[in-house]
Chain A
Amino acid sequence: MKDISSAIQLIPLENYVFLSVALFSIGMMGVLFRRNTIAILMCLELMFNSVNLLLTAFSAYHSDPAGQVFVFFIMIVAAAEVAVGLSIIVMMKRNVDSVDINLLNRLKW
């Protein structure tokens, strides 16, 4: 544990933050501008994982395992969420024979 922490600390904290911001922005752009629902779901996961990365990095730098415990929780919840999200996409494919997000436009009023 000590070794892993020190190995991580070899790289400055800023780099982790920049990587995480870059991943988060990519994910967000994907969510906003992609029309394929599967791609949107993947971008969503990317955003999750950028946050996870940040959490683990800070956790290692502060030698506080609480951040890593959080990450495990998030991964479990994300797995459950992906199961629900994918099944929605499957149902969508069956119903409208497409995974274009713009076809789901009845959510109004």
Chain B
Amino acid sequence: MVALISSIAWLVPAFPLLGFLITGLAKNRLKNNQAGIIASTLVSFSFITALFLFFSLRSSGQDSVTVTLFNWISAGDLNIPFAFLIDHLSITMMLIVTGVGALIHIYSIGYMHDDERVSSFFAQMNLFTFSMLLLVMGANYLILFIGWEGVGFCSYLLIGFWFKNPAFNYAARKAFVMNRIGDLGFILGIILVFFTFKSVSFTEIFSQAGALQAGAPMITLITILLLVGAVGKSAQIPLYTWLPDAMAGPTPVSALIHAATMVTAGIYMIARSSILYNLAPITLNIMIGLGLATAIFAAVIGLRQNDIKKVLAYSTVSQLGYMFLALGLGAYSSAVFHLTTHAFFKALLFLGAGSIIHAMGGEQDIRKMGGLRKKMPITYLTFLAATLAISGIPPFSGFFSKDLILTKAFENNPLLYILALGGALITCFYMFRLLYLVFFGSQRLSSAHPHESPRVMTIPLIILSVLSVFGGFLNIPELFGGKSDLGEFLHSAITSKVTEELSSSTEIGLIISSLALLGLIILMAYRTYVKRAVLPAADSESLSLFGKVVANKFYIDEVYTLLLEKPFGFLSDFFFNTIEKAVLDPAVDGIGTATSRLGNLVRKLQAGNMSFYLFAMVGGILLFIIFILIV
């Protein structure tokens, strides 16, 4: 079985790479849906292979298999093989990436069918899938880093896919630059890991890490640097502002990259490094703070957004905050569980939003929608399922994963629980606000003629909604008679911190109270947006001070512009206009002029007179001899 795993593991990333090569190289020859069909088929093959690997690994009885493809870098002490690590964590991620990825690819066939660069789109999506698979399968930090940069690059390409719009290009650049800031920390972290452990391979590092003392300064520094990378990629405070802007890309891109997979790379990386993080309590506390702050902050901003995709984007940032909270609490497998269910319901929400935007002819403002429930029944039902899931209503998947995180928070500190629950309630409110504004009431934009999307788009929606509804059953806690299957499954790859278990009566009490609050919030949203049919204020209307601050996203973008972009621009202007023109240009020109003048001078020595040459030669030799004799 192990030999079988070793021999076919490379196929998982190879299929999307093949798809990228075909759709990328033959992009002008592929007609209509061909590119989409090729790309989707290959990603589906990849999913089937991953599924096969999953069952092989289960029946092999081993926890992990390292598949070395070839020796990549070998210089002195440095020895880095190009290897994949197939264990329970990477196989979970592979199934999510290829499974959700395949559904989104299929959906894109319908969504992108009339785009003129559809082949390029699928080529880039396939390249993304390939990079993401490298990221999750890599057996050392360097392979992970290749994938990490690859997904960042594809994200840049796909955010700026409609590059004729300068604002979209700006968004793409912003995402790229923000990610670079994180990547800098990440690469420094990798270098430090190499200096500390003399290896970048996961298995070697983690076996050595056991000997280290908890809270050692080196390990704290390493984990903080790796955390900087994760903060950039997973859009946490303070580097989260790129993610809402990244909604400039086509909606399937938002679903695949900016909800289900790429932004969870940071979570995956930290869960992968769980052994290191367990040794760094300071970093864990930073992560609790960051995660909780992001979860609440982004949720509050989400309350006042009127662009359907922006609402979902802030909701993604907020949910990623919950995952960071779980990581900070040392409950790594809970974070991966929430990552899994989030991949299902957030991809579904984005695809549903895409279906709505498609039906509304490109309109994204929820104030102009309304009454779509009758026109688009399938989209409505699937969107409802996803909304219930993200709000944490049992028995939908989000309930199980979010409840697990909330319980862990309570075990740590009841205050954390209250704050996290507050964030969850806000999430519930803005999601139902979105649902009611879009699907209830009457249609507010008379020019649009909404219609249900074609089957190629609705079938992925239906599959994802099934996953969103039942995904939680992967990990039913003991409280409900389950066995925490996913947590147990991940146990071999992730070392979660052991915490005191709550008594089941406390746990039931917490769940009932949070459910009561959620019910109240839903009722409140219903009364506001359906009964009273309140519309969010138009952009021109004046708001209360707090409302204005929230609607403008706490002016964070403006603050960043003022604090970083402006001084940086000023500095580069200064260097260009003053330093370069006054100092560098004359210096460089001066060297050039001086050289050619000197050349002109020396040129005269070489007149072509043979006697002179001979004379110079003999004179030179004589001088040389005299020099030797004297010295």
Contact = CB atoms under 8 A, between A and B. Distances in A.
Given A28-B618, A32-B618, A109 B611 contact: no
A101 B609 CA distance: 8
A109 B603 contact: yes
Contact of B607 (A28, A32, A33, A105): A105
B166 interface: no
B614 A107 contact: no
Contacts of A32: 611, 614-615, 618
Interface in A71-109: 101-102, 104-109
Contacts of B603: 109
A31 B613 CA distance: 11
B604 to A, nearest CB: 10
Contacts of A31: 614, 618
B610 A108 contact: no
B624 to A, nearest CB: 15
Interface in A6-47: 28, 31-33, 35
B608 interface: yes
A101 B606 contact: no
Contacts of A105: 607-610
Contacts of B613: 107
Contacts of B608: 104-108
Contacts of A106: 608
A105 B607 CA distance: 7
A102 B610 CA distance: 7
Given A28-B618, A32-B618, A101 B611 contact: yes
Contacts of B607: 105, 108
Nearest to A104: B610
A70 to B, nearest CB: 21
Interface string B542-553: 000000000000
A32 B610 CA distance: 10
A31 B619 CA distance: 13
Interface string B593-614: 0000000000100111111011
Nearest to B609: A105
Contacts of B606: 108-109
A43 to B, nearest CB: 11
- Interface size of A as a range: 10 to 19
A101 B615 contact: no
Contact of B610 (A28, A33, A107, A109): A107
A23 to B, nearest CB: 16
A104 B611 CA distance: 10
A93 B556 CA distance: 89
B382 to A, nearest CB: 81
Nearest to B613: A107
Interface string B609-631: 11101110010000000000000
B610 A101 contact: yes
A46 to B, nearest CB: 15
Given A108-B606, A109-B603, A109-B606, A102 B611 contact: yes
Nearest to A105: B608
Nearest to B607: A108
A109 to B, nearest CB: 7
Contacts of A108: 606-608
Nearest to B622: A28
B620 to A, nearest CB: 13
A101 B615 CA distance: 13
Nearest to A37: B610
A105 B609 CA distance: 5
Contacts of B618: 28, 31-32
A102 B615 contact: no
A101 B607 CA distance: 14
Contacts of B610: 101-102, 104-105, 107
Contacts of B615: 32
Interface in B567-611: 603, 606-611
B202 to A, nearest CB: 63
Most chain-A Cβ atoms within 10 A of its Cβ — which of B606, B611, B615? B611
Interface string A51-84: 0000000000000000000000000000000000
Contacts of A35: 611
A104 B618 CA distance: 19
- Residue of A28, A101, A108 with most chain B CB atoms under a 10 A cut-off: A108
Contacts of A104: 608, 610
A108 B608 CA distance: 5
B391 to A, nearest CB: 84
Contacts of A109: 603, 606
A109 B613 CA distance: 13
Interface in B97-113: none
Interface in B422-444: none
Interface in B377-413: none
Interface in B190-222: none
A40 B609 CA distance: 15
A102 B614 CA distance: 12
Contacts of B614: 31-32
A109 B618 CA distance: 21
A35 B615 CA distance: 13
A96 to B, nearest CB: 13
Contacts of A33: 611
A35 B618 CA distance: 17
A28 B621 CA distance: 12
A99 B492 CA distance: 94
B112 to A, nearest CB: 64
| 4 cross-chain pairs, A with B, having the tightest CB-CB distances, nearest first | A108-B608, A105-B608, A108-B606, A107-B608
9 contacts: A31-B618, A32-B611, A101-B611, A104-B610, A107-B608, A108-B606, A108-B607, A108-B608, A109-B606
Given A32-B618, A108-B606, 6 more contacts: A28-B618, A32-B611, A35-B611, A102-B610, A105-B608, A105-B609
